[in-house]
Structure 1
Amino acid sequence: MVGTAVSTTVSAAQLQLIFPHAGSAAGRFVEPLNSAMAQYAINNHLRIAAFLAQVGHESAQLTCVQENLNYSAAGLQTTWPTRFDKALAQQLARQPEKIANLVYAARMGNGPPESGDGWKYRGRGLIQITGRNNYKATGIGLGLDLLLEPQLLEFPEGAALSAGLFWQQHGLNELADERHFDAITRRINGGLNGQAERLAFYSRALQVLA
C-alpha cells in the first residue's frame, strides 16, 4: 500500500529523534534533506522513512559524508581478503590514501594506483558515491563538475542531493511504497550489511513521522 502524504518535510527535532547521535548535524542537514526529498519525489511517509533510514546508516547518523579508509592491518585483511596478504596489510595499515588508491584502482572508471583516482573519488555523500564514472554521472545529474570538484559531495547540499538522485535513479521510491526494505538495502549496499541498524532507523522513522 502506498504511504499517505501526511507531511513531505522533516524537522531538525524529528531527525534528532530518529538519529539520537546526530547532534548538530541534524540542524545542518534538515534543509538539504527536505530540498532533496522534494526534488526526487520522496514525498510520503514510507518513502521518507526508508530514505532517512538508509542515509542514516550510510552516514553514521549524518555525521560522516566521506568514506573512512583508516583500516588496521587486520581490518584490511578482513575487508579485502583477496587483495591483502599479511605483509601488504601491515605495509599499508592506517594509510587511507594509499589504501584507496590500491583497492579502487582500475575499477569504476578509475585509473591505476599512481593516478590517485581511488582517493580522489572515494566514497562521499549520504549514500556514498564512489569511483570516477559514478562521480561523472552524478555530476551530470546534479549539474556539477564533480570530476573537478569531488569535495562538493561533502557539503550538506551536495551530500543530500546526490543521495536523492541515486534513490530516484535506482527505483527506490517504488520499493519503499511496497515496503521492500531489504531490496532497497541490496540496491544500495549490494548485500544486507548493517541491516539491523537500518531497520531500527526505519522503525523509528515510521513512528516519528506518523
Structure 2
Amino acid sequence: TEIENATPNPQYKEEQKRIEKLVWWDEVKAKVPGFPQADVFHLHPVGLVGNFRTKFQFTLEMMRRVFPLAQVNVLQELIDELNAHLEVYALDTPSRRAHFFAQVMQETGKSMTVEEGFVWKASALVASFSYFRRNPQQATTHGYQTNRPIKADGLPMNQVDFEAIANGAYGGRAELGNGDFESGDGWKYRGRGMKQLTGRANYRSFTRWNQAHQDEWPEDRVDYEDSPDLLCQPEYAARSAAYFWVANGLPAIADRGTTAMQVNEITAIVNRNTNSYAARVANFEQIWIRGDFN
C-alpha cells in the first residue's frame, strides 16, 4: 500500500503491532452478555461525566433567601419563567445570576415589588426632576410635605397625585421615547417588571425582542407598548428584566469578574444616576458569598 511504501519497514512493523493491540472490539462484544446489541462506541470520559451533571434550576428556597417578603406564588411563577429559558436569558453561570439579582434586589426590594411607586416628598421632586424644578408648585401640590404621605393640604396622596408625579418625572423624556406631560406617557410607561422597565421606547424595544425570540414562546404573541400592564404579571416581569439584561450586553460584563468594578459597570447601565451604587455592590456580595445561585 501507499503507507507501506512510504514507511521504513521496521517502523511500519512496529506501528502494525501497536494497531493490532487496539483491535479488541470483538472480544468486548463477546464478553458482555445481556447487552441489547453488540455495537461498541467511543465515549470521551469528560463528556460522559458531563451528561450526569445536574442542570442548574432556580428553586423556591433560593428565591426566598433573597426575597423573603415576596409572595410564594409570585416567586414560583418567576422561577418557572426563568428556568424555562435559562440560556436565552443568559443566566447560565453563577456570576451572571449573582450580578443579575443584585440589580433586581435593588429595583424590587425584598418583597419583589414589580411596579414603581410614586410616593415622593415635594422637596425631593424638585431636587430630582427638571419638570418639578420648573414647576415647583406642582411638586407642592402632589408630593407629601413632612409626614409620608400627607400633602400640604392635609390630605393623603392619591391616584391623581401618583399620575401627575409620573408624568412630570418621565414626560417629555426623549431618551425614554415619551410624549410630553399631557400625553400621559410618563404614567402609562412607568417602571414595571423585575428591572422596572421605563419609557415607551423601552416597551417597544421589548416587544421587538419578544418577537425576535418567538420560537421560545410560540403561542405568546404580545405587544407591551399596547399592553404595558402585562409587565406586572410575574411571567413578563421576569422576561422584561431578562430582555434588558441581554439587550444591553450585561452578561459580558458579568463574565469579566465578581468585583465592585463589574457591579458598578452594570449599575451605570441599569440606572446611571442612582444613589444606590454601594447598595448594589452589597447586594452582589451577599448573594455571591452565600452562594445563593451557585
TM-score range normalised by the length of the shorter chain: 0.7 to 0.9
Q: Which amino acid aligns with 2:292?
A: V
In 1: Cα distance, 2:119 partner to 2:274 partner: 23
**1:102 and 2:180 matched:** no
**1:114 and 2:192 matched:** no
Q: 1:20 Cα shift?
A: 3.2
**1:18 and 2:84 matched:** no
In 1: Cα distance, 2:270 partner to 2:54 partner: 26
Aligned residues: 206
In 2: Cα distance, 1:10 partner to 1:119 partner: 33
**1:61 and 2:110 matched:** yes
Per the alignment, residue 57 of structure 2 pairs with 9
Structure 1, residues 150-194: CA drift from partner, whole Å, max 9, x if none? 001111111111111111111111111112121011110114532
| More displaced stretch, 30-39 vs 125-134 | 30-39
In 2: Cα distance, 1:67 partner to 1:35 partner: 26
Which of structure 1's runs of 4+ aligned residues deviate more than 4 A? none
Q: Is this contact kept in 2: 1:18–1:201, CA < 8 A?
A: no
Per the alignment, residue 187 of structure 1 pairs with 269
Q: Which runs of 5 or more residues in structure 1 are unaligned? A: none
In 1: Cα distance, 2:84 partner to 2:100 partner: 13
| C-alpha spacing 1:7/1:204, structure 2 compared with 1 (3 Å) | farther
In 2: Cα distance, 1:27 partner to 1:182 partner: 29
| More displaced stretch, 32-41 vs 10-19 | 32-41
Residues 48-197 of structure 1 mapped to structure 2, 5 A cutoff = 48-61=97-110, 63-80=112-129, 83-84=132-133, 86-93=136-143, 94=157, 95-107=161-173, 108-143=176-211, 144-179=222-257, 180-191=262-273, 193-197=275-279
In 1: Cα distance, 2:54 partner to 2:273 partner: 31
Question: What SS does structure 1 have at the residue aligned with 2:238?
Answer: helix
**Which entry has the higher C-alpha Rg, 1 or 2?**
2
Structure 1, residues 66-116: CA drift from partner, whole Å, max 9, x if none? 111121213312322663364331112241101111222222222222211
In 2: Cα distance, 1:178 partner to 1:158 partner: 28
| C-alpha spacing 1:97/1:77, structure 2 compared with 1 (3 Å) | same
Q: Is this contact kept in 1: 2:131–2:169, CA < 8 A?
A: no
Structure-2-length-normalised TM-score: 0.64
In 1: Cα distance, 2:187 partner to 2:130 partner: 20
Per the alignment, residue 293 of structure 2 pairs with 209
| More displaced stretch, 131-140 vs 37-46 | 37-46
| C-alpha spacing 1:27/1:173, structure 2 compared with 1 (3 Å) | same
| More displaced stretch, 28-37 vs 143-152 | 28-37
Q: Which runs of 5 or more residues in structure 2 are unaligned? A: 1-52, 144-156, 212-221
| More displaced stretch, 45-54 vs 28-37 | 28-37
Q: 1:33 Cα shift?
A: 3.0
Greater RCO structure (CA 8 Å; 6+ sep): 1
Question: What SS does structure 1 have at the residue aligned with 2:172?
Answer: coil
